[in-house]
């Protein structure tokens, strides 16, 4: 909403969704437009048969890995964190 305010855009909000798949299904049905991370852009276009109408570098999303351990040790947790760092943060569009 801050981004819309900065651009002095007042969108009509047709719905608010906690479920991103439901959000995309509504967009697919033509009820409105929705946002999606650039990193999954091609997957969203293919799966939901939608079109990209705009891109911006001004909106960012944050991800957090929360652990009770001070230092991550479990091999599976380390693999997930390493993959996220490589795939999410090496994308030139981020």
User: pLDDT digit string (tens) for 12-55?
Assistant: 888 899 998 999 999 999 988 998 988 899 999 999 999 999 99
How far is residue 62's CA from residue 47's CA, in Å, rounded to a whole number? 24
Supply the pLDDT for residue 90.
66
Judge whether residue 91 has pLDDT over 70.
no
Q: Which of 72, 54, 63, 51 is nearest to 91 (CA)?
A: 63
Domain limits for position 79: 62-94
Kindly indicate the confidence band of residue 92, based on its pLDDT and cuts at 50, 70 and 90: low
- Quote the pTM value: 0.61
14 and 30 co-located in one domain: yes
Question: What average pLDDT does the segment 66-83 reach?
Answer: 83
Does residue 32 contact residue 53 with C-beta atoms inside 8 Å?
no
Judge whether residue 77 has pLDDT over 90.
no
88 and 54 co-located in one domain: no
32 and 46 co-located in one domain: yes
36 and 78 co-located in one domain: no
Judge whether residue 89 has pLDDT over 90.
no
19 and 40 co-located in one domain: yes
How far is residue 24's CA from residue 30's CA, in Å, rounded to a whole number? 10
48 and 72 co-located in one domain: no
14 and 54 co-located in one domain: yes
15 and 29 co-located in one domain: yes
How far is residue 64's CA from residue 4's CA, in Å, rounded to a whole number? 25
Does residue 45 contact residue 52 with C-beta atoms inside 8 Å?
yes
**Which contacts (CB < 8 Å, 24+ apart) does range 65-69 have?**
none
45 and 66 co-located in one domain: no
């Amino acid at each position: 909403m801050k981004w819309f305010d900065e651009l002095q855009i007042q969108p009509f909000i047709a719905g608010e969704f906690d479920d991103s798949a439901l959000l995309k299904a509504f967009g697919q049905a033509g009820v409105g437009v929705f946002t999606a991370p650039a990193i999954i852009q091609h997957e969203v276009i293919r799966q939901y048969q939608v079109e990209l109408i705009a891109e911006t570098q001004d909106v960012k999303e944050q991800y957090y890995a929360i652990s009770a351990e001070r230092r991550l040790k479990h091999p599976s947790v380390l693999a997930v964190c390493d993959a996220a760092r490589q795939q999410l943060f090496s994308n030139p569009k981020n």
